[in-house]
Structure 1
Amino acid sequence: MDSGQTWRQFAIASIANLLLVAIGYTMGWTAPINGKLQSDEESPLDRPVTVDEEAWIGSLLTIGAIFGPFIVGYLASRIGRKWTMLASSLPLFIGWVLLAAAKDVALLYAGRVFCGVTMGMGFTIVPLYCAEIASDEYRGALGALLQVLLTIGYLLVYGIGPFVSYSVVIYVGTACTVAFAIVIYFMPESPFYYLGKGDKDSAASCLATIRGKTEAGVMTELDAMASDVTASMEKTARMTDLFRGNNFKAFYISMALIFFQQLSGINAVLFYLTDIFEAAGSALDASISTIIIGAVQLGASCVIPLAADRLGRKILLMISSAGTAVGLFLLGAYFVLADNGNPVAEQIGWLPVVALMVFIITFCWGLGSLPWAVMAELFPIEVKVIAMPVVNIFCWILAFLITRYFSALAAATGMGVTFFIFGACCLASFFFTLFLIPETKGKSFQEIQDLLSGNSPKKTPTWK
């Protein structure tokens, strides 16, 4: 019996997600770099940046990300998923070059926009690729690898950023980008891409590589994939199709999950993590606190690939939504006490670290990666290439608004109220998940469509 090698799909998905290491590095870049840009000795500029310029440096990453999904939508069906991932490393490389050469704020802005383009591309193409190479029983685990590799990038920049020069931080980010571009070249293409081009031989070859089987051993699974692709090619997806039947259910669920993910305030927290600790007057050094949070984030993220296909997406999203709400409410309560000069705040200087640990851990358990994984599962093949860019663009518009105006909102209402608002959104996410999100654990793409239709899904074979 041709049992195959399960580890292959995990290894290939992990290599694809190395792009997320580079993206996580650039997303966390502002945490240690903001202090350098405000220093006369460490800044590459001839003056410290202003508070407004700091906000733009953080938020322009998400402006660049808005353009990424458009590029993926064009390239993925034309040159393939693999080559689109390789192409996505180019804007990031250009971004690092601009940041390294920056002598004025304009080049910093330009560099962050280019880095953001890769972020938008990566969050679109990597989940799509992983969903298409995964067998049904491991699709959740492969989708959850995104969060693990992303947090490695965060921890890397948190760990080295405070202790090395501005230039060294840039060089490490560039090295991560180049390393990804080299290794992804050797990975197989998605079999769905070849099937869409009518090249069944190439599809069989790459699926055999992914599964660790002979081509004869993957033919049954390949025939099922080909059937799905043939059915999808008989339909021409248009933007209006997103608002019809199952597609609309998948669309509003995906949009809502992304809304709650971003309104948790995650990007504002991670971009300004060091600033938050400094504002809280934490008993620990702000840089050390940031490293601790990064390490906790990585540890928590490692749970998801193990749990996503055991506990299911729905229960993990509920746990995540409830936990992030608790962490944010605790953080908000601390800032309310501190802002009002309550002496209790001095006695609980440890609370911001604990609250952020709760927030980060539970965010990683669900809201961090599962919206992307669920999104890749819910849409039929012909609609996916339209839907995922649209949802991703919505994601990055929200991320820009939150990141750009977090400082202004905190200044106007206080840190405490700001975190209470984020916590309320996480609480709303819990009830939305409880009542409206279907469980997709272990189901094939066709079974998921049956589930959205309200029909009892017919069990399809599982290939191991």
Structure 2
Amino acid sequence: MVKESIEEGQLSSPLIVADKPCENGCSGDGHEEMGGSSATSVLVLSTLIAVCGSYVFGTAVGYSSPAESGIMDELGLSLAEYSLFGSILTIGAMLGAIVSGRIADLIGRRGAMGFSEVFCIMGWLAVVFSKDAWWLDFGRLSIGCGMGLLSYVVPVYIAEITPKNLRGGFTTVHQLMICCGSSITFLLGTLVNWRILALIGTIPCLIQIVGLPFIPESPRWLARSGRWQDCEDALQRLRGEGAIISQEAAEIKDYSETLQRLSEATILDLFQWTYARSLIVGVGLMVLQQFGGVNAIVFYASAIFVSAGFSGRVGSIAMVAVQIPMTTLGTILMDKSGRRPLLLASAAGTCLGCFFVGISFLLQGLQGWKELGPIFALLGVLKVC
């Protein structure tokens, strides 16, 4: 699974129909030429349907903060019980992520997205109709399982259907929609109660389920499954009716046949000295992301604002006003400034944000400095987000 993901990201670029005369003087109509492909309507629609799953991911992450006070007051949950509700999402996501690759390879990318949305809808409905902590936890766990599946299959599907020259831009839409989902959930949470907010969370799930039959399956998955004609048909739909896909289809076929001849890689194959640096960097970045304190602050941002003496509603609106523009800026700068500078800048911002949040609570016990606590809390949460 690991080797497949790495090799798929290194496939050569697809073909387009040349719009200008070739060097031999031919008109260029129907002439195959290596280069970039344009975004067709089917490609854009397929990406939009896929990133509905990314939006679902974002709504799940952003739900616990605005819903905290309403759930605790109505159901009489203790802080420990609500903390379990908020954190059990990550356990479900871990379970979903473990089996995500196998499910996506077994039933296809579209099938995996539809399968994950069943878990998400079931989870949201369990939250909507919950009467006690057990139903809340079950719903949150179910949403987490679906979220774990979506976190894998959505970017893989987008990467497999897009031509190389568009792949970077299209795959960043996944992260942008996660941000939009969490931010809009924060905003809606200031306007509606927690049950209606959970019911709203089912809308992007339903949109994706309804839209999946209208988009093509991943040509690369079809090729690996031995469905060559379906692979070519899907590729033709994605590239446009007038596009010549013969060479790209041949490359996909050769790659799939080569992959089938290779022995399947195991997790132990990663632990070789050759891959030590890559493994340390890759795992280190994931550890930095998960243990940097971001989830804890985002999950309970409203409670942090209130505890620091700041308005939870105003703080949530400020988060929305900052989070979406900054994520959009990061998407634009991704291919311009490079990954490493952005990683360094975001890691520094996260560290400073966590420091400010800690300072805000420290100042509450200091006479004369207590008024600065809400300011540091706001700056800290905004920097982390």
TM-score range, shorter chain: 0.7 to 0.9
Helix, strand or coil for the counterpart of 2:105? coil
Deviation at 1:212, TM superposition (A): 2.9
Higher relative contact order (CA 8 A, sep 6+): 1
Q: In the alignment, what sits opposite 1:220? A: 247
Deviation at 1:305, TM superposition (A): 3.2
Q: Does the alignment pair 1:28 with 2:62?
A: yes
Label 1:241 to 1:90 Cα distance change in 2 as closer, same or farther (>3 A): same
Q: Is the 8 Å Cα contact of residues 56 and 181 (structure 2) preserved in structure 1?
A: yes
Q: Is the 8 Å Cα contact of residues 63 and 185 (structure 2) preserved in structure 1?
A: yes
TM-superposition CA deviations, 1:79-110 (whole Å, max 9, x none): 11111111110001111121122111111111
Deviation at 1:247, TM superposition (A): 5.2
Helix, strand or coil for the counterpart of 2:201? helix
Q: Does the alignment pair 1:102 with 2:130?
A: yes
Amino acid at match of 2:17: D
Pick the aligned partner of 1:237 from 259, 265, 270: 265
Deviation at 1:7, TM superposition (A): 5.3
CA distance in 2 between counterparts of 1:11 and 1:250 reads: 35
CA distance in 2 between counterparts of 1:345 and 1:205 reads: 66
Return 165-174 or 99-108, whichever deviates more.
165-174
Label 1:244 to 1:225 Cα distance change in 2 as closer, same or farther (>3 A): farther
Q: Is the 8 Å Cα contact of residues 141 and 307 (structure 1) preserved in structure 2?
A: no
Q: Does the alignment pair 1:131 with 2:164?
A: no
Q: In the alignment, what sits opposite 2:375? A: 350
Label 1:150 to 1:188 Cα distance change in 2 as closer, same or farther (>3 A): same
Deviation at 1:342, TM superposition (A): 4.7
Deviation at 1:262, TM superposition (A): 0.8
Q: In the alignment, what sits opposite 1:2? A: 17
CA distance in 1 between counterparts of 2:44 and 2:272 reads: 35
Amino acid at match of 1:2: V
Percent identity between the two aligned chains? 26
Pick the aligned partner of 1:303 from 310, 323, 329: 329
Alignment of 1:282-321 (within 5 A): 282=310, 285-321=311-347
Q: In the alignment, what sits opposite 1:424? A: none
Q: Is the 8 Å Cα contact of residues 277 and 286 (structure 1) preserved in structure 2?
A: yes
Q: Is the 8 Å Cα contact of residues 301 and 316 (structure 2) preserved in structure 1?
A: yes
Q: Is the 8 Å Cα contact of residues 364 and 370 (structure 2) preserved in structure 1?
A: no
CA RMSD in angstroms comes to 2.2
Deviation at 1:272, TM superposition (A): 0.3
CA distance in 2 between counterparts of 1:287 and 1:185 reads: 39
Deviation at 1:268, TM superposition (A): 0.7
Label 1:243 to 1:99 Cα distance change in 2 as closer, same or farther (>3 A): same
Label 1:249 to 1:299 Cα distance change in 2 as closer, same or farther (>3 A): same
Amino acid at match of 1:35: S
Alignment of 1:439-450 (within 5 A): none
Label 1:7 to 1:301 Cα distance change in 2 as closer, same or farther (>3 A): farther
Q: Is the 8 Å Cα contact of residues 6 and 212 (structure 1) preserved in structure 2?
A: no
Q: Is the 8 Å Cα contact of residues 38 and 49 (structure 1) preserved in structure 2?
A: yes
Label 1:132 to 1:114 Cα distance change in 2 as closer, same or farther (>3 A): same
CA distance in 1 between counterparts of 2:154 and 2:58 reads: 14
Helix, strand or coil for the counterpart of 2:49? helix
CA distance in 2 between counterparts of 1:246 and 1:308 reads: 28
Alignment of 1:65-464 (within 5 A): 65-212=93-240, 214=242, 217-235=244-262, 236-244=264-272, 249-282=277-310, 285-336=311-362, 338-347=363-372, 349-360=374-385
TM-superposition CA deviations, 1:133-192 (whole Å, max 9, x none): 232233222222122111221122212223223331122112222112112232211111
**Bigger radius of gyration, 1 or 2?**
2
Unaligned runs of 5+ in 2: 1-15, 19-36
CA distance in 1 between counterparts of 2:354 and 2:56 reads: 27
Q: Is the 8 Å Cα contact of residues 86 and 185 (structure 1) preserved in structure 2?
A: no
Q: Is the 8 Å Cα contact of residues 132 and 190 (structure 1) preserved in structure 2?
A: yes
Deviation at 1:264, TM superposition (A): 1.5
Deviation at 1:51, TM superposition (A): 0.9
TM-score by length of 1: 0.70
Q: Is the 8 Å Cα contact of residues 67 and 193 (structure 2) preserved in structure 1?
A: no
Deviation at 1:358, TM superposition (A): 2.5
Amino acid at match of 2:328: C
